[in-house]
Amino acid sequence: MGVEIKVDDLSKSFGKQLIWGDVTLTVPAGEICVMLGPSGTGKSVFLKTLIGLLKPDKGSILIEGTDIASCSERELYEIRKLFGVLFQDGAMFGSMNLYDNVAFPLREHTRKSESEVREIVMEKMDLVGLLGAEDKLPGEISGGMRKRAGLARALVLDPEIVLFDEPDSGLDPVRTAFLNQLIVDLNAQIDATFLIVTHDINTARTVPDNIGLLYHRHLAMFGPREQLLSSEEPVVRQFLNAQKVGPIGMSEEKDATDLAAEEGQELPPLPPIPLQLDPSNGVPRRSQRPAGEWCRDNGVTPPPGSFESSNAGLAPGA
């Protein structure tokens, strides 16, 4: 049914360099969240901290009453069984074929017989569209296939929380669209909590229930999709609409002279908010909210043309 992740006042630095500080957010159970941020703002570090691969300097991460940041190694290995993680390049074990890779967690953690293992593995392989490729080695397949195989492995223990580290990096727009559809369908099917780290704004605009934005060593904003897409806050607005005008520069921050030069420049109007991606069977997900509900409830007028099409305001070609 999905598990809530409660992050409180989390900070992480490498040596003297602060990566991000005071991050407080709650990933609601069963919902899809996207964590956005310009390159190099520590999105992957955030993900690795959530699963205890990196220790934060302060703060807590509560999952089912266990604090990942301070629990013992043994508790950590226990709690990780709730997680499924899709790594950037799939992180398949190079010495095993795809079948053994996907079967690995089952063989390690369950006492299922080989025929039961086979049944589950084949089901997951079918889910990600990799039937027939079981005997291939990870080195012999394309990056997109490795990602899908990684997803199959992440799902094999029926996780309560699924983390995606840039599922769309290195994929073509068509495959990205298929993968996004797969993510939405999966969420409808297993009701797990999904957290996607990405910097692809098309994914961020259409897939999630909630969006977070990491910028300049802190969490700039975290909230429902419609809140961020209709936000006038400069950083959020610039990033979600891929504009050059705004506080984000080529190297993290713009300097004062650049910002001064932009002063008075007319900001382009906010693009319309697209419809959220529906599961392919058309039945809304349990955590999905009706289009425009947040805007109505909070008295925000969405940009003109919102909620009319599923690709409004997206970058061309998507």
Partner 1 sequence: MATSVSSRALAPVAVAGNLFAFALDVLRGLFRRPFQLREFIQQAWFIASVTIIPTALVAIPFGAVIALQVGGLIKQFGAQSFTGSASVLAVVQQAAPIGTALLIAGAGGSAIAADLGARKIREELDAMMVLGIDPIQRLVVPRVLACMLVAFFLNGMVSVVGVTGGYVFNVILQDGTPGAYLASFTALAQLPDLWIGLIKALVFGLIAAIVACYKGMNAKGGPKGVGDAVNESVVITFLLLFVANFVLSMIYLQVIPPKGG
Per rule CB under 8 A, count of chain residues that contact partner 1 = 23
State which of residues 48, 225, 237, 285 lies at the interface with partner 1 (CB under 8 A). Answer: 48
- Nearest distance from C-beta of residue 276 to partner 1, angstroms: 29
Phi, psi values for residue 23, rounded to 5°: -85, 115
Binding mask 132-151 for partner 1 (x = CB under 8 A): ------------------x-
Q: Rule CB under 8 A: is residue 194 a binding residue for partner 1?
A: no
Sequence-separated (6 or more) residues with CB below 8 Å from residue 303: 230, 269, 270, 271, 272, 273, 313
Do β-strands 210-215 and 58-63 pair in parallel, antiparallel, or remain unpaired?
unpaired
CB nearer to partner 1: pick between 146 and 285: 146
Q: Rule CB under 8 A: is residue 105 a binding residue for partner 1?
A: yes
CB nearer to partner 1: pick between 94 and 316: 94
Strand, coil or helix: 9? strand
Q: Rule CB under 8 A: is residue 85 a binding residue for partner 1?
A: yes
Q: Rule CB under 8 A: is residue 174 a binding residue for partner 1?
A: no
In whole angstroms, give the CA distance from residue 21 to residue 218.
5
Can you say whether the dihedral through the CA atoms of 37, 39, 40, 42 is positive or negative?
A: positive
Burial (CB count within 10 angstroms: exposed 0-12, middle 13-18, buried 19+), residue 62 = middle
Q: Rule CB under 8 A: is residue 81 a binding residue for partner 1?
A: yes
Strand partners, 194: 32, 162
* Lateral strand order in the sheet of 66-67: 17-27, 5-14, 58-63, 66-67
- Nearest distance from C-beta of residue 193 to partner 1, angstroms: 15
**H helix runs in the chain, sequence order:** 43-50, 73-79, 98-109, 114-127, 143-155, 173-190, 201-206, 225-229, 234-240, 256-262, 293-297
Q: Rule CB under 8 A: is residue 88 a binding residue for partner 1?
A: yes
CB nearer to partner 1: pick between 68 and 221: 68
Q: Rule CB under 8 A: is residue 83 a binding residue for partner 1?
A: yes
Q: Rule CB under 8 A: is residue 273 a binding residue for partner 1?
A: no
CB nearer to partner 1: pick between 10 and 161: 161
Q: Rule CB under 8 A: is residue 10 a binding residue for partner 1?
A: no
Binding mask 213-252 for partner 1 (x = CB under 8 A): ----------------------------------------
How many other CB atoms sit within 10 Å of the CB of residue 118? 15
Can you say whether the dihedral through the CA atoms of 93, 94, 98, 100 is positive or negative?
A: negative
CB nearer to partner 1: pick between 109 and 286: 109
Q: Are the C-beta atoms of residues 193 and 160 closer than 8 Å to each other?
A: yes
State which of residues 39, 72, 94, 256 lies at the interface with partner 1 (CB under 8 A). Answer: 94
> Where on the chain is the footprint of partner 1 (CB under 8 A)?
48, 51, 53, 77-78, 80-81, 83, 85, 87-89, 91-94, 104-105, 108-109, 150, 153, 157
